[in-house]
Every structure is written in C-alpha cells, then in structure tokens.
Amino acid sequence: MITTTTPALVPRTLLALALFAPLLAGAQAYRCQDAASGRTLYTDQPCKGGATVVPRPTDEQLRLDAERTQQARERAVQQREDAVLRQQQQLDAARTAEAQRPRPVPPAESDACRRAREEASFRAASVTATEEQVRTARANAALACGQPAPAEVIVVPPPPPRWRPPRPWDDPLPRPHRPPPPPQYAPGTEPLPMR
C-alpha cells in the first residue's frame, strides 16, 4: 500500500521530532536485579547494584541537540511563513487576473442590438416599407437584443357596420331603467354605514 503525506504534515512531523529529541536524548536507563524474584528489571530510576544501560549524554551532546532543535524550529517557522506568502501571492494574482478580465457585455447593450434597433426604427418610419419588412426588422432587433421574437400578430380590421332600415317591431322607445334591488344580508353581517 502506497501512502502519501501531505505537504502540511511534513513540517509538523519534523517539528514534533525536533521538540522531543532532547527528551529522548536525556533519558537514561538502569538495569537492576530484583532481590525478591531474581528477575532483571529495566527502569529510569537508579537502583542499588544497578548498571547504566544507556550512558548519560555529555554536555557537548546536549548543547548540539539544543542547537539542532532550535534550527529545526526556525526552519519550520520559515517554511510556514513561506507557504503563507506563496498562498497570498497566488490569491493576489488570481484577484488581479479576475479584475483584468473583460466583463461580458449584455446582449441588450451590444452593438448588434443597437444596429438592429436602428434598422427597425428606420423601417417603421419609412413610408415605402411594407408591414412584412417592419415586422421582420422588429423580430431581428428582438433576437439581437437577447429577447424572444414577437409572436406573429396579424391585425384584421373589423368589418364595416351594415346599415339596415328600422323594422317596425324594433322598440323605438327606450325602456325606463330600474335600479337593482338592495342586497339581502344575514343577521349580524350587515355592513356598517359610512360617515
């Protein structure tokens, strides 16, 4: 099984090892003989008749370990600062690229829409243009401006009224108009009078 470590874990791991290295280097073990059972025990506390298994490091070794630990800490801090700086630069570059990108022009504000509207206005104002040419120019303007084309509307003038002579059975006198009866309300639902 292949495992990969993420770049963020590597500095953390190195930092943790660097921090705990002095603790491990300063540890000392003793081998003791248990008087009651006769078994050999290993402990970090000195005991009577015990022998040192891991020799105590010298002052020079402790100083070198402390220097290495400090250098590892400084490297880890520098790597983190570099990573933050790189991320900030990438973010700034992305913002700059976004700001420099030209904004798309809406169809209603495009040159094609403006020209199509001018053409439709010209056709509508023209005395010689047919209704078909005016309708076509308006439909082209709507499509160029990103709108749906208008539905085909054909205006049919109403037929002229036919005159007919009065017939004797038609009522020449108008009937008197009767007002409608007042509304009936259920008890308790009558409207309040307006003042």
Three-class secondary structure of residue 170 per DSSP: coil
List phi, psi (to 5°) of 159.
-65, 150
This prediction has a pTM of 0.33
Return the percentage of the chain with pLDDT > 90, whole number.
20
Return the percentage of the chain with pLDDT > 70, whole number.
77
Pairing of strands 51-52, 30-33: antiparallel
Specify which of 6-10, 33-37, 126-130 reaches the highest per-range mean pLDDT: 126-130
Give the model confidence (pLDDT) of 147-168 as tens digits.
887 776 565 677 777 777 777 6
Give the model confidence (pLDDT) of 101-152 as tens digits.
888 878 888 888 999 999 989 988 888 888 888 888 888 888 888 888 777 6
Three-state helix/strand/coil letters over 9-25: HHHHHHHHHHHHHHHHH
Question: How many Å apart are CA 131 and CA 138, to the nearest integer?
Answer: 11
Question: How many Å apart are CA 44 and CA 41, to the nearest integer?
Answer: 10
pLDDT score recorded for residue 69? 94
Residue 163: both structure tokens together: 């005159």
Residues 6+ apart with CB under 8 A from 68: 18, 21
Residue 102: both structure tokens together: 């030209």
